[in-house]
């Protein structure tokens, strides 16, 4: 992702991967406005994508009434806004995820509390 600057950027970036315990990954759930923005987490690149679903996402989104109803086989994934199909058996890195990538998921049939997002 590139950034349009209004003038020359003359100092080193302070959010490079070497300054974090693990690469940052932004994760958002489409159509669920209870969460105003994606979560940003440091996650090890060796973590299997399936563990993100089973071990990480419940801690982020599990208190939402729709979460327990998710059919993960029907979830639609997006990486940087584009449709994307992750492999649950492969690591985050092997799925092509790197520092500061953004992924989102949509859960067909679940559109917020009592269908509040239309």
Q: Where are the alpha helices (DSSP H) in the chain?
A: 49-51, 57-61
- 3-state secondary structure (DSSP) of residue 28: strand
For residues 96 and 113, which has the higher predicted lDDT (pLDDT)? 96
Q: Which residue has the tokens 């690591």?
A: 91
Tell me the whole-structure pTM to 2 decimals: 0.84
Distance CA 32, CA 87 (A): 24
Distance CA 34, CA 42 (A): 22
Question: Is 112 a residue whose pLDDT tops 80?
Answer: no
Question: Is 29 a residue whose pLDDT tops 80?
Answer: yes
Contact 95, 49 (CB under 8 A): yes
Structural domains of the chain, ranges and CATH numbers in brackets: 20-106 (3.10.20.560)
With a pLDDT cut of 90, the percent of the chain lying above it is 61
Question: Is 35 a residue whose pLDDT tops 90?
Answer: no
Among 17, 39, 35, 16, smallest CA distance to 26 is for: 39
pLDDT at position 33 is 75
């Amino acid at each position: 992702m590139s950034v349009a600057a209004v003038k020359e950027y003359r100092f080193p970036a302070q959010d490079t991967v070497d300054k974090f315990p693990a690469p940052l990954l932004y994760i958002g759930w489409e159509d669920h406005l209870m969460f105003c923005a994606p979560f940003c987490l440091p996650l090890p690149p060796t973590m299997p994508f399936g563990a993100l679903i089973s071990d990480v996402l419940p801690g982020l989104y599990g208190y939402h009434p729709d979460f327990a109803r998710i059919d993960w086989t029907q979830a639609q994934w997006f990486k940087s806004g584009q449709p994307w199909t992750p492999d649950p058996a492969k690591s985050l890195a092997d799925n092509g995820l790197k520092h500061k990538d953004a992924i989102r998921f949509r859960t067909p049939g679940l559109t917020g509390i009592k269908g509040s997002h239309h």
